[in-house]
Amino acid sequence: MAQLWGGRFTKETDARVFAFNASLSFDIRLLKQDIRGSIAHVTMLAHAGILTEEEKDSIIDGLGDILADAENGTLTIDRTAEDVHSLIEAELIRRIGENGKKMHTGRSRNDQVALDMRMYIRDEIDSFSGELKDFLGILLDLMEEHRTTFMPGFTHMQKAQPIVLAHHIGAYFQMFRRDREHLLSLRIRMNTCPLGSGALAGTTFPLNREETAALLEFDGACENSIDGVSDRDYVIEFLGILSSVMMHLSRFSEEIIMWNSDEYRFLTLDDSFSTGSSIMPQKKNPDIAELVRGKTGRVYGALISLMTVMKGIPLAYNKDMQEDKELTFDAIDTTRECIALFGGMLKTAVFHPEAMKKSAGGGFTNATDAADYLAAKGVPFRDAHSIAGRLVLTCIERGCRLEDLSMEDWKEAHTAFESDIYEAVSIEACAARRKTKGAPGAVDEEIKANREYLGL
């Protein structure tokens, strides 16, 4: 068992204790960040006169070799190391000898792990920002394609008013755009460097914390060393944003599942993104959407778990905090896969504009427009509402749509109705005439704004 802290111990660690305490199996994911942080640390140590140029150079060369081997898959990982920090330090000493033992001067694993995790999440924010941008591109393409695909908009799961599919998808565009912006604003907020906080109380060495911060592309060193090693707020915030991405994917999944059903037939999922049943030969199931919906619980779980881990921890570092990693890594992998698969499923799905329009024509989605028609002619809206409501009742009794009523029927309801009422209650007009900003009739401007946001 390779440990960094044998000095004050007189007994070997119990094997189960070692295994329980060890984090190498999962924190090996921080290898790149750990090496990058160490290179910055020793560069600064040399500038501050704490290491000689020669010591610094040999450490940096050794670290560079370890990284190169890790990247091309030839690094032999000593599985008996406690964590990634011990692994790299032991490997460095094995490769370069005595100089390697100076790397950890003025540093603790507490500020080291705080740094690694911060850099890891910062990298993840950058890649998620790109992945979400691509996903928004898929949504924008669909919006372009379905500017005039009419469908019912729903409230309370009841058909409410006619919209176009571009408008519906545009709502998701805004949600995922906000998620992306949350990530980018978190990046700004969390971009301070904990290195130099030491175990909790800084160090007696004259470290230049601003230098390491700058070398690692932070905006500065964190103000308080205790906070520097104790803060995992940004991890929680990050998991909160991933949870929001998953929540949005899950809502969308729910709709895809319904729309793909025989009852709706708004779309057909591609065979390559569907699965079958072991018993029912006719089945083609929307498992991808269902799994995305299901995995949302798992990502929320990571968020709630970490909040629970953190809530009882006194300052400063406590080992409980090691629990942040598996949760976060799993949430990252899960969310990433869900974004990619959901995007693929959406891109290959075929929408059925005819069925959607037919559905929009049922359920009196144009009743508001009949009322608006009268109101526009001076009838107080409350009266107009009631007149249109009575016409709906007549239609229900006759089993017909508002469009099927005769001119006499309309006239009988109110003399202000003229023959242009048929145009006014057509599904196309109901959607197109709602031209206020953000409404279905203004979807072209919305598409233009989205295009600009994506820089397309």
CA triple 21-26-27, angle to 5 deg:
85
Instruction: Report the site for ligand ARG in 24-53 (rule: CB under 6 A).
Output: 27
Which residue, 129 or 318, has its beta carbon nearer to ligand ARG?
318
Report in angstroms the alpha-carbon separations of 81 from 2, 21, 76, 111: 5, 11, 12, 19
Q: Least CB distance from residue 145 to ligand ARG, whole Å?
A: 47
Q: Least CB distance from residue 101 to ligand ARG, whole Å?
A: 18
Q: Name the residue with the smallest CB distance to ligand ARG.
A: 322
And the tokens for 238? 């990050």
Phi, psi of 158 (to 5 degrees): -105, 145
Q: What does the chain come to in residues?
A: 456
Give dist(CA 205, CA 207) in Å, integer: 6
| Residue of 99, 110, 103 whose CA lies nearest to 35 | 103
Per CB under 6 A, 348 contacts ligand ARG: no
Per CB under 6 A, 322 contacts ligand ARG: yes
In contact, 369 and 430? CB cutoff 8 Å = yes
User: Would you state the torsion angle of the CA atoms of residues 240, 242, 245, 247, taken in this order, to the nearest 10 degrees?
Assistant: -60
Q: Which stretch binds ligand ARG (CB under 6 A): 189-197, 290-298, 321-329, 374-382?
A: 321-329
Q: Identify whether 156 is a catalytic site residue.
A: yes
Q: Which stretch binds ligand ARG (CB under 6 A): 10-18, 121-129, 320-328, 357-365?
A: 320-328
Q: Least CB distance from residue 42 to ligand ARG, whole Å?
A: 19
Q: Find all residues with CB under 8 Å of 267, minimum gap 6, and list them.
A: 256, 259, 260, 349, 350, 351, 352
Which residue, 111 or 369, has its beta carbon nearer to ligand ARG?
111
Q: Is the peptide bond before 2 cis (omega within 30 degrees of 0)?
A: no
Instruction: Report the site for ligand ARG in 94-113 (rule: CB under 6 A).
Output: 109-110, 113
Which residue, 23 or 244, has its beta carbon nearer to ligand ARG?
23
Binding residues for ligand ARG, rule CB under 6 A, total: 11
Neighbours of 188 (CB within 10 A): 8
Choice from 35, 321, 370, 402 touching ligand ARG (CB under 6 A):
321
| Residue of 184, 213, 179, 210 whose CA lies nearest to 122 | 184
Q: Identify whether 277 is a catalytic site residue.
A: yes
Q: Least CB distance from residue 120 to ligand ARG, whole Å?
A: 11
And the tokens for 286? 């929307």
Neighbours of 414 (CB within 10 A): 19
Instruction: Report the site for ligand ARG in 7-26 (rule: CB under 6 A).
Output: 23
Per CB under 6 A, 303 contacts ligand ARG: no
Instruction: Report the site for ligand ARG in 78-97 (rule: CB under 6 A).
Output: 83
101, containing H or E segment: none
Which residues would be at the binding site for ligand ARG (CB under 6 A)?
A: 23, 27, 83, 109-110, 113, 317, 319, 321-322, 325
Task: Give the residue numbers annotated as catalytic, written as ranges.
Answer: 156, 277
